[in-house]
């Protein structure tokens, strides 16, 4: 069954220079494997389209039921250089809540 990410996870995002980071956290630890399977770096990169010019990296934190994404070259130069209203990527995490994921549990 396809649902928006917001059904099973919450997010927080911020900046490091021109890189935006998004933490994606499962409300229920049982859904962590679904996050790992569905929210891949490739899907995050294609979801944001032209907003992310560089690569997307993913790190796993199973102890927190969470994933951490680094979106490189995504903030219009970042910091003081950026002309964007969201130069710090504060709202990128909220945007990602709209990505459609399949929450069906499958045997590995």
Residue 107: CB minimum distance to another protein, A: 25
In the 8-state DSSP scheme, what is residue 33? H
Q: How many CB atoms lie within 10 A of CB 33?
A: 15
Residue 42: CB minimum distance to another protein, A: 16
Residues written for the chain: 108
Residues numbered 32 to 71 that lie near another protein (CB under 8 A) are 47-51, 59-66, 68, 70
Backbone phi and psi for residue 91, each to the nearest 5 degrees, phi listed first? -105, 0
* Minimum CB distance to another protein smaller for 37 or for 72: 72
Residue 43: CB minimum distance to another protein, A: 13
Q: Identify the residue among 8, 25, 56, 101 touching another protein (CB under 8 A).
A: 25
CA 45 to CA 17: how far, in whole Å?
18
């Amino acid at each position: 069954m396809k649902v928006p990410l917001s059904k099973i996870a919450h997010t927080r995002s911020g900046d490091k220079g021109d890189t935006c980071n998004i933490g994606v956290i499962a409300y229920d630890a049982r859904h962590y494997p679904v996050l790992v399977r569905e929210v891949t770096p490739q899907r995050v990169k294609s979801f944001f389209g032209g907003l992310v010019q560089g690569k997307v990296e993913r790190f796993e934190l199973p102890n927190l039921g969470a994933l951490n994404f680094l979106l490189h070259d995504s903030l219009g130069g970042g910091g003081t250089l950026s002309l964007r209203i969201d130069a710090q990527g504060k709202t990128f995490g909220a945007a990602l809540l709209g990505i459609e994921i399949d929450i069906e549990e499958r045997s590995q």
